[in-house]
C-alpha cells in the first residue's frame, strides 16, 4: 500500500553520485539511500524534502516516521545536532538545500489587469505560491462587471469608476495587501497615483506611460514599490551585467553602430521597455542610438518566418536582438534574449511582491526598488 501510493506520487529522476536514488513530484523530492547494516541487514533510508517545510524523514524497517518542523526559534546549534542525529551526514548537499529553503511567507495580493495575459498568469502564480489572492481586479471600462476565474477563484473586475473607494476598502479588509499592476501603458500613471494616494505598496510590471512622472509620484508619496519593465530573473541578470559593463567601461563601444530588433505579440501596445533599458546601457558605453531606431516586429507572419518565433507562442513572446558593429566593420557583437510565454515574468513578479512585503514589514528606509535589487538580495525562489 505504502509503495503503491509512493509510486503514484513520485517519479524516479536520477541516481546521484553518492548512490542515492532521487524521485521527484510537485510536492518535493525524495532521496532513497540503501545501506548494509553491520548485521548484514538492508537498511533503506528515505528522505523526503517537501519544498515548503516540514522535512519528513522516514526510516524503513520499523517504518518509524520522524517529522521535524523547522521552527524559527530553533537555534543553529540545535538544528545541527538534530540533523546529525538523523544521520544525514552522507547527504550534505541535500541538507544544504534544506538550509536554503525559503520561509513560507503569505499576505494578500491584488492583481490589476487580471483580464489580460500577464495579470492572469501572475494571479495564478500568486495562488500557487500560497499568497491570498484578493478577488478584486481593476481593468478597462469594457471589462467592468465581469467575473473572471483565476487560480480557482472568482475575481470581480472593476472599471475605472469608483476605484479609490474600492481600493481603500480592500486595504481595510486585507491589511498588508500588495498590489501588482499588469495593465496598459495608458493606465500606468493614473494607477500609480491611486496606489500612492491610498498608500498601498505595489509592483508595477506594466511598461510605458510617463516613467519620469511615475518615479516622481512614488518618491513624493514615499510609498514602497518595485518598478521594472522586466521581471524575468535571467533577463534581469543580463540587464544588470550590461549596467555593470557600462559603469566599469564607459565609452567602450564608442563609434560602434547598433541595430535593435524586438518582436512581441501583435497586441503589445508599446515599444519594449526592456529594450529601452538595455539601450540606455549601450548609450553609456558610447553607442549613439535613439529609442525610435528600434525595429519593432508585430506581424505574426514575419515573426514566424524571419524571427523564428514558434507558432504556439505568437500570442505571447518577447524576442530581442542587439547587433553591434565596429566602425571599420571588422568586429561585431550580438546579444539576444528570447522568451516564449509568460511564466518567467509571473514567477519574477511574485518574487518582487514577496521582496516588497519583507521591505514593508522591516520598515526599510529605501522605498523604490527595481528587479535588480530583488535579484541582488537573493529573493528569487
Ligand X SMILES: O=C(O)C1=N[C@H](C(=O)O)CCC1
Residue 268 annotated to the active site: yes
Cβ proximity of 150 and 116 under 8 Å = no
Taking CB under 6 A as the rule, does residue 298 contact ligand NAD? no
Taking CB under 6 A as the rule, does residue 209 contact ligand NAD? no
Taking CB under 6 A as the rule, does residue 120 contact ligand X? no
Pick from 71, 241, 267, 315 the residue near ligand NAD by CB under 6 A. 267
Listed ranges 39-47, 56-64, 134-142, 298-306: which one lies at the site for ligand NAD (CB under 6 A): 134-142
Q: Which is nearer to ligand X, 108 or 116 (CB)?
A: 116
- Among 322, 272, 280, smallest CA distance to 298 is for 272
Lay out the site mask for ligand X across 127-146 (x = CB under 6 A, - = otherwise). Answer: --------------------
Cβ proximity of 240 and 375 under 8 Å = yes
Pick from 183, 217, 274, 370 the residue near ligand X by CB under 6 A. 274
Nearest-approach distance from CB 274 to ligand X, in angstroms: 3
Taking CB under 6 A as the rule, does residue 229 contact ligand NAD? yes
Total binding residues for ligand NAD by CB under 6 A? 28
Which residues, at least 6 apart from 353, have a Cβ–Cβ distance to it below 8 Å?
Answer: 109, 126, 131, 178, 180, 203, 226
Taking CB under 6 A as the rule, does residue 318 contact ligand X? yes
Residues 211 and 72: their CA atoms lie apart, in Å, by: 41
The residue of the chain with the least Cβ separation from ligand NAD equals: 116
Nearest-approach distance from CB 324 to ligand X, in angstroms: 20
Residues 244 and 236: their CA atoms lie apart, in Å, by: 12
Residues 127 and 116: their CA atoms lie apart, in Å, by: 17
Nearest-approach distance from CB 152 to ligand NAD, in angstroms: 19
**Backbone angles phi and psi of 48, in degrees to 5:** -105, 125
Lay out the site mask for ligand X across 162-201 (x = CB under 6 A, - = otherwise). Answer: ----------------------------------------
Of ligand X, ligand NAD, none, which one sits near residue 201, judging by CB under 5 to 8 A according to partner kind?
none
Give burial (CB, 10 Å; 0-12/13-18/19+) of 40. Answer: exposed
Taking CB under 6 A as the rule, does residue 231 contact ligand NAD? yes
State how far the alpha carbon of 37 is from the alpha carbons of 30, 61, 126, 354, in Å: 21, 12, 46, 46
Altogether, the residues listed in the chain come to a count of 381
Taking CB under 6 A as the rule, does residue 341 contact ligand NAD? no
State how far the alpha carbon of 132 is from the alpha carbons of 55, 156, 292, in Å: 24, 15, 41
Nearest-approach distance from CB 303 to ligand NAD, in angstroms: 15
Pick from 120, 158, 233, 268 the residue near ligand X by CB under 6 A. 268
DSSP characters for 326-379? -TTSS-EEEEEEEEESSHHHHHHHHHHHHHHHHHHHTT-S--EE-HHHHHHTT-
Pick from 273, 286, 300, 341 the residue near ligand X by CB under 6 A. 273
Taking CB under 6 A as the rule, does residue 195 contact ligand NAD? no
Catalytic residue among 120, 158, 233, 268: 268
Pick from 185, 286, 300, 341 the residue near ligand NAD by CB under 6 A. 185
Q: Which residues pair with 11 in a beta bridge?
A: 24
Counting Cα atoms < 13 Å in the Cβ hemisphere of 332 gives 9
Which residues, at least 6 apart from 149, have a Cβ–Cβ distance to it below 8 Å?
Answer: 155
Total binding residues for ligand X by CB under 6 A? 9
Taking CB under 6 A as the rule, does residue 116 contact ligand NAD? yes
Cβ proximity of 195 and 179 under 8 Å = yes
Question: Which three cell numbers, joined as nine digits, stand for 6?
Answer: 509512493
Catalytic residue among 264, 284, 317, 359: 264
Nearest-approach distance from CB 290 to ligand NAD, in angstroms: 20
Q: Which residues are catalytic?
A: 264, 268
Contact positions vs ligand X (CB under 6 A) = 207, 229-230, 264, 268, 272-274, 318
Contact positions vs ligand NAD (CB under 6 A) = 112-113, 115-119, 138-140, 143, 160, 182-185, 187, 205-208, 228-232, 267, 345
Amino acid at each position: 500500500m505504502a509503495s503503491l501510493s509512493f509510486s503514484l506520487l513520485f517519479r524516479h529522476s536520477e541516481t546521484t553520485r553518492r548512490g542515492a536514488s532521487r524521485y521527484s513530484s510537485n510536492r518535493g523530492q525524495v532521496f532513497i539511500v540503501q545501506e548494509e547494516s553491520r548485521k548484514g541487514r538492508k537498511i533503506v533510508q528515505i528522505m523526503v524534502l517537501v519544498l515548503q517545510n516540514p522535512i519528513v524523514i522516514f526510516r524503513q524497517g520499523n517504518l518509524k516516521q520522524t517529522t521535524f518542523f523547522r521552527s524559527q526559534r530553533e537555534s543553529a546549534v540545535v538544528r545541527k545536532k538534530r540533523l546529525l542525529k538523523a544521520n544525514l551526514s552522507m547527504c550534505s548537499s541535500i541538507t544544504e538545500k534544506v538550509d536554503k529553503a525559503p520561509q513560507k511567507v503569505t499576505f494578500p495580493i491584488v492583481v490589476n489587469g487580471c483580464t489580460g495575459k500577464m495579470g492572469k498568469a501572475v494571479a495564478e502564480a500568486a495562488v500557487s505560491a500560497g499568497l491570498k489572492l484578493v478577488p478584486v481586479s481593476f481593468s478597462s471600462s469594457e471589462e467592468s462587471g465581469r467575473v473572471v476565474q483565476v487560480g480557482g477563484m472568482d475575481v470581480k473586475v472593476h472599471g475605472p469608476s469608483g476605484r479609490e473607494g474600492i481600493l481603500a476598502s480592500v486595504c481595510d479588509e486585507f491589511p498588508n495587501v500588495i498590489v501588482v499592476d499588469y495593465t496598459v501603458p495608458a493606465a500606468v500613471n493614473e494607477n500609480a497615483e491611486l496606489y500612492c494616494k491610498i498608500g498601498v505598496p505595489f509592483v508595477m510590471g506594466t511598461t510605458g506611460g510617463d516613467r519620469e512622472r511615475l518615479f516622481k509620484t512614488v518618491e513624493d508619496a514615499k510609498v514602497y514599490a518595485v518598478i521594472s519593465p522586466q521581471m524575468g530573473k535571467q533577463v534581469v541578470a543580463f540587464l544588470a551585467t550590461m549596467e555593470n559593463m557600462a559603469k566599469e567601461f564607459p565609452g567602450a563601444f564608442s563609434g560602434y553602430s547598433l541595430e535593435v530588433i524586438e518582436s512581441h505579440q501583435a497586441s503589445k501596445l508599446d515599444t519594449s521597455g526592456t529594450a529601452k533599458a538595455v539601450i540606455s546601457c549601450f548609450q553609456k558605453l558610447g553607442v549613439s542610438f535613439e529609442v525610435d531606431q528600434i525595429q519593432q516586429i508585430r506581424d505574426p507572419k514575419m515573426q514566424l518566418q524571419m524571427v523564428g518565433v514558434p507558432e504556439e507562442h505568437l500570442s505571447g513572446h518577447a524576442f530581442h536582438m542587439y547587433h553591434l558593429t565596429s566602425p571599420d566593420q571588422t568586429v561585431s557583437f550580438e546579444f539576444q534574449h528570447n522568451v516564449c510565454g509568460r511564466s518567467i515574468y509571473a514567477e519574477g513578479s511574485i518574487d518582487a511582491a514577496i521582496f516588497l512585503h519583507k521591505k514593508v514589514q522591516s520598515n526599510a528606509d529605501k522605498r523604490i526598488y527595481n528587479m535588480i535589487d530583488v535579484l541582488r538580495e537573493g529573493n528569487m525562489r
